[in-house]
Structure 1
Amino acid sequence: MTGPQTPTIIPAIRYARTNEAASFLEKAFGFAPHASYPGEDGGIGHAEMTIGNGMVMFGSGTGKADNPWAQVPMGIYVIVADADAHYARAKAAGAEIVMELYDTPYGSREYSARDPEGNLWSFGTYDPWAAKAEG
């Protein structure tokens, strides 16, 4: 479970060739596999790899055309305890919401927004650290 020393901000990268990316990150940079979920094309749909106390998440970013993750090479995922409250705060502050608050098939509640420079941020209750500890 996420604790005071567990990182809650996780870079998220999109790769066209996810299997090759996972192999490269492991061999070249020393990342260790944490979790991997298959994609529709037989490759990795979503992966989590760690190094030290850090993590990177990545996937193919394919899917519906209105999915903002299919349109950017990189973004940030932030674990939050209360996605509804976080969403309300961001919306009230004028954040550009690009994916409305929703419940995912994997049990998270999350949304995505862009900052004033156009960077993609996603906020949600999915905690890959806790998911691995439980599984």
Structure 2
Amino acid sequence: MTTGFTPPGHNTVSPYLLVPSVVDALAFVIATFQAVELYRVAGENGGVKHAEVRIGDSVLMMGERGSAALPGSIHVYVPNVDAVYGLALAAGATSVSEPRDLPYGDRSAGVRDPQGNLWWLGTHIGAA
């Protein structure tokens, strides 16, 4: 949706992760969610100062902040929670919550990426 005050393809609200290494964060979201890199601003010493990726219909922004990084918490709807949970673990995440069916109709799981961010994965399966 274009609003006239957002870049084309961006929503009004975009999550922004502050991470120790954008390069590592990019590798994780590409391996786990098949994210598509949209934009990258080079930083010092081969790092990345800012990057944007598309996951499904949403844009995720991230910036490199070294020791001042703050872990975030993001919820992502995916076609198959179990498969994406496995991809996340293979990409270096640790399990926070194994896939399970919840009473509000989602199958859900949680992982913590190597930089400390929490990723809540969901697939809507209908009311339980």
Which bin holds the TM-score, normalised by the shorter protein? 0.3 to 0.5
TM-score, scaled to structure 1? 0.43
